[in-house]
Amino acid sequence: MASRRTRRHGDGQRSTTLWIAQLLLLAAASGIFWHVSWRHWPQRVFALPEERPAMRRRLRLLATVRAGLAGATFVLGVIASR
């Protein structure tokens, strides 16, 4: 027979807070994705050769931040589901 989880008094509010935090992190990651797709990448395509290293560094930073946001969202999702 499956064990039943007992809910404590503050579980609902904690879960809601985690879902809202997860939504905000995903919105930030989506904003970075939009910026890279519609602003950064076209600028990089038409950049002069001497401008490309700076653009590459910026893209690497944005990609790292976006991956971190997505990872944090995943962790919050796991915590919220428990």
Q: What is the pTM of this model?
A: 0.76
Query: Cα–Cα distance between 57 and 20 in angstroms, integer?
Result: 31
Domain count, the chain: 1
Is residue 13 assigned to a domain?
Answer: no
What residue numbers bound the domain in which 58 lies?
28-80
Instruction: Report the alpha-carbon distance of residue 44 to residue 59 in Å, rounded.
Output: 9
pLDDT tens string 42-69? 999 999 999 999 999 999 999 999 999 9
Does residue 41 lie in a domain region? Answer: yes
* CB burial readout 61-78, b (16+ within 10 A) else e: eeeeebeebbebbeebee
